């Protein structure tokens, strides 16, 4: 029995060694949680913990809203999207998340640590899976990562606050005005759209034809012009008025 246990431990160590060698530590150090540490430091830490690498195909569900958060998930290849379904059954896209960003860092701890959204693979993706207990070991071993984690969850809280503010707008035009003004900022008068019209419609929680109609109306009203994927804000004051009255 003792020999069997020793063999299993030896086998696990060999598998763990192979998994560590599969990790691109240059990419890991670009992850917000591991920013500021060297590749050697990252490799040292991962040799101290248990973890897995999981593969997902396009359209695969990574986690379901309401599922308990028991692991830290870090995308190391591809991208995923977070979506929420409202009471009418409509899917609202929250955001796209690309490598090497982590998922749901603010929900690793707490009394109700469940995923707030369903996460789906946008394309073929690889995800690093670190159990929460193992991530705690990392936080204890490296104060830089601890600081990064605290900064990350603070930033997430601020993002969610902004998201709630965005969703509070009742009209599509108000949502679009808010989005464009936020993207352009105070200094700039143009926005390069990185999303397709369907992706924007999902983000706003509206249909694509409805969004296209609003963009058309805003152009006719002289508020914006659209050339390819560049939106020029012609009347920021007018957009602010729409946003404030929405």
**How much is the average pLDDT of 110-119?**
91
Q: For residue 10, what pLDDT band results from cuts at 50, 70 and 90?
A: very low
| Domains of the chain, CATH where assigned | 2-160 (2.60.120.10), 172-245 (1.10.10.10)
Q: Which two tokens stand for residue 145?
A: 């990562």
Q: Give long-range contacts, CB 8 A cutoff, 24+ apart: 91-100.
A: 91/202, 92/202, 92/203, 92/205, 93/199, 93/202, 93/203, 93/205, 94/163, 94/203, 95/203, 96/122, 96/199, 99/27, 99/75, 99/125, 99/126, 100/27, 100/28, 100/30, 100/31, 100/74, 100/75, 100/76
pLDDT of residue 6: 46
Question: pLDDT by residue (tens digit) across 158-180?
Answer: 766 666 766 777 788 998 998 89
Q: Cα–chain-centroid distance for residue 210?
A: 26
Query: pTM above the 0.75 mark?
Result: no
With cut-offs at 50, 70 and 90, classify the pLDDT of residue 110: confident
């Amino acid at each position: 029995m003792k020999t069997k246990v020793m063999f299993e431990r030896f086998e696990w160590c060999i598998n763990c060694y192979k998994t560590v060698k599969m990790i691109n530590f240059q990419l890991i150090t670009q992850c917000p949680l591991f920013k500021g540490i060297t590749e050697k430091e990252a490799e040292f830490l991962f040799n101290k913990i248990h973890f897995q690498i999981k593969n997902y195909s396009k359209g695969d569900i990574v986690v379901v809203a309401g599922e308990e958060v028991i692991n830290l998930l870090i995308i190391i290849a591809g991208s995923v999207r977070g979506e929420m379904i409202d009471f009418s059954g409509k899917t609202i896209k929250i955001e796209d998340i690309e490598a090497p960003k982590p998922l749901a860092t603010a929900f690793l701890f707490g009394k109700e640590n469940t995923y707030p959204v369903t996460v789906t693979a946008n394309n073929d993706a690889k995800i690093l899976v670190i159990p929460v207990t193992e991530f705690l070991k990392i936080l204890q071993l490296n104060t830089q990562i601890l600081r990064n984690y605290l900064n990350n969850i603070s930033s997430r809280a601020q993002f969610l606050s902004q998201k709630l503010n965005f969703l509070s707008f009742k009209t599509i035009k108000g949502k679009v005005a808010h989005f464009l003004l936020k993207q352009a900022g105070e200094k700039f008068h143009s926005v390069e759209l990185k999303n397709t019209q369907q992706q924007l419609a999902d983000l706003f929680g509206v249909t694509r034809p409805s969004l296209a109609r609003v963009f058309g109306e805003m152009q006719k009203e002289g508020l914006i012009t659209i050339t390819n994927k560049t939106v020029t804000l012609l009347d920021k004051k007018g957009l602010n008025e729409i946003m404030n009255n929405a």
